[in-house]
Structure 1
Amino acid sequence: MFNKVEPKQLEQLSKRDRYLVESFHAVYRRDRRRQPHNGARKLPEPTEAQLREMLRFLQKKGVNINSIKELNHELRKVGQLLRDYDIWSSRGSPLAEPLENLNPDTGDYFESPELVDRSELERLEKLEQNELYEFLNQGVIDVLDEAIAQGLQEHIASVKKRPKYAPLAKKIIPAFRLLYSQSMSLRKIAEALGMGNQSKASRVLEPQKLLNQVRYLSLDKFYQLLLDKFQGVIEQERLSNNPDALREINQAIQDFVDAKVFEEAVAEINRSKNRSLNSLYAQRLRCHLENLEKRA
């Protein structure tokens, strides 16, 4: 249906739907013209690569569709609208029978009701779920690394502004290395680094405060990461004036980041005995401290 759409039919579509037709023409029809015709009446279905290229085309037009499955649904819907218009034009009135009973298997039609067969859709959906899972997990690590670097830098700067503790600011990095690499107590850290006593070391390091600051920064950075990736979805909720929907998104982000990083980090730092610091937060903090030592 897309291949023989007429200007009069396009006029009946919304701007968004016209862009969908344009994306199909720009990708699928272009590729068909480059291929030799074998005389088959039934056209092959769009490939995964073609669907992804259509998504990129639509993004440039300001149309945000987040998955191949969603694109397939949108194309199918527009295709049905075009078929409706074609049939109504020839009959002079809408059809009385359900559209699902039509057999659109003609030269330029996709096989109804699917643009892509169900097994292929399931495969693509699973692939996209895996890609999303990898994106989220890697995204958490990336924003955590950024938050640790920023949080630690801000913490040291804050200590330097306190005259009583400013001379100890240079001991913060080695002190955190002893805490997170050797699970050394604050009392032993104070003795090893000449920080006075446990109380003074605690007021200089404030590991719980640093953890809270890194969490705050991580949530903010992760939200921005998702906003950049799924701008259309989040923006729709924002413009819908639905505060509950936005709260649910924010809560889901917070729950995900806490489950991945901070629940374990808080639990381990609050243990007074047999403390083993192996949370993701502890691992990434150790990595950052080691990199700082190498650059020193």
Structure 2
Amino acid sequence: MRPPPEALLRRFGLRDPEWVAGTRHAQVWKVRLRSGDWGALKHYPAGHMGNEATGLLFLERAQEAGAVRVLGRSADAVLMEWLDGPSLGDLVRDQIPHTDQRLEVVDGALAEVARRAFDAAISPERLAPLAELIAPLQAVRFTAPEARAAQAMVLPLLADFSAGGGEVAALHGDLHHDNVIKTPAGLRAIDPKGLAGPPAYELANAFRHPRGCADVSARVTVIRRRAILWGEVAGCGASTQLHWAILKVLLSMLWSGEENPRERLLLRQMLKVSEDGLPD
């Protein structure tokens, strides 16, 4: 992999770049700062951040609320602190077989990250409107029976929010176990989308995580516990929290263009929890 442009390194006073990861939209290097500490440099070759700009805006507003620290930015790059430590997802995957007990601990830690951001009352101004992202769910036609049943269940919720109903908060937008790093200085959230939407959406995607742990995440006991815990954090009640989680599974199916067996199983289990009843 090619090193970052020399002009970019000079701009931030960086050296010793080590390539970490990348996509066609952005590349990430571990770099040495002037202080001698390590940082993470993310470069956007197109010259702009595209739809990641609102994620950076959220990070900058959440600096005192548990987000990774932003050290510098320009139109085509952002420099952040380097985070040493495992993700909350790693803490679950490190235990084989996966158990509810370990998952319950990290689910609680994830809840605290969300709670800290909500308590900070971050402004949702200029963040990406969630209503625009979820609007296509009103028209899409799913083929799997559980997806169709789930869509029918959440359509009233979707229509109400799209019409301007409910609270709108600043959201990380992709807060799950693999986007929170446990560092010596505490938990740090990374890779936000930067959305403006209902608090119940913040942990909706976490019902599908951690990665590689679908067996435990699809357990009825886990889904129910998460709906109660995370609904309390969002201030919406367990039933509403679960409905937003169901909506997020459908949205993931729409974006991927695939109704895969893993997500179909999760939907079936979620529908069962909903049918059994949850606190409002």
Q: Where on the TM-score scale, by shorter chain, does this alignment land: which range?
A: under 0.3
Q: TM-score, normalised by structure 1?
A: 0.26
Return the index of the structure with the highest Cα Rg: 1
Name the one with the larger helix percent: 1
